[in-house]
Each structure stands twice: as structure tokens, then as C-alpha cells.
Amino acid sequence: MKRPTAFEERLYELLLCIPRGKVVTYATLAEMMGNRGYARAVGNALHKNPDGEKYPCYKVVNAKGALAPTFVFGGIDEQKRRLEAEGIEVKDGYVDLEKYGYNLF
């Protein structure tokens, strides 16, 4: 397996800052990485997450609160299961960002 880049390592460490029962958006993580325009790069890096148990990429949703249909560790049903295990309600593939969103700033 290829070693994570510095960007990926920093991103994975940011995932550890998300409290239990909260989610963040790709854009929020991108902003924390220095540029809100990095949202797509964040998504690509999360898809390469080397350890889904250590780095909780399941806590990342899109700007509308939608789950990732191609969640790397088992698809959307697995992402939903992991979120619900933390008490996060998922309705029709979406999380209420007003209720569960977390801003890392």
C-alpha cells in the first residue's frame, strides 16, 4: 500500500477532532486544510483512508448532509450504520447538519 501524502496524513488527523455524535462536510475539512476549494481532494483522500477504524471518515458528508454512496468501508449502508451507532439520525440518506454538524474552527 502506498504511504499517505502529507496532505492525507494531516486530513486523517483532523478526522480525530470530530466529536462523537457529530459530522463535518468535505468543504469544512477542505477549509481546515487551507482552501475550501480542496473539497474534491478531501473526498479523494478519504477514499484512500488506510484505517477506517482509526480515522472516522464515515463522519464526513456532503454540503447537503448526504452520505457517500461509495463509502470506502462498505458503502452507504455501512456509513449509515456507523453514524447511527453514534446516535446520529440518518433519514433517507441524509444527516441534519443543523443538529449534527460540527465546525472545526
Q: Which of 32, 57, 68, 95 is an active site residue? A: 57
Is residue 57 annotated as a catalytic residue, yes or no? yes
Which contiguous run of DSSP H or E holds residue 91?
A: strand 90-91
Rounded distance between C-alpha atoms, residue 51 and residue 54, angstroms: 5
DSSP one-letter code for 77: H
The residues annotated with a catalytic role in the active site are 57
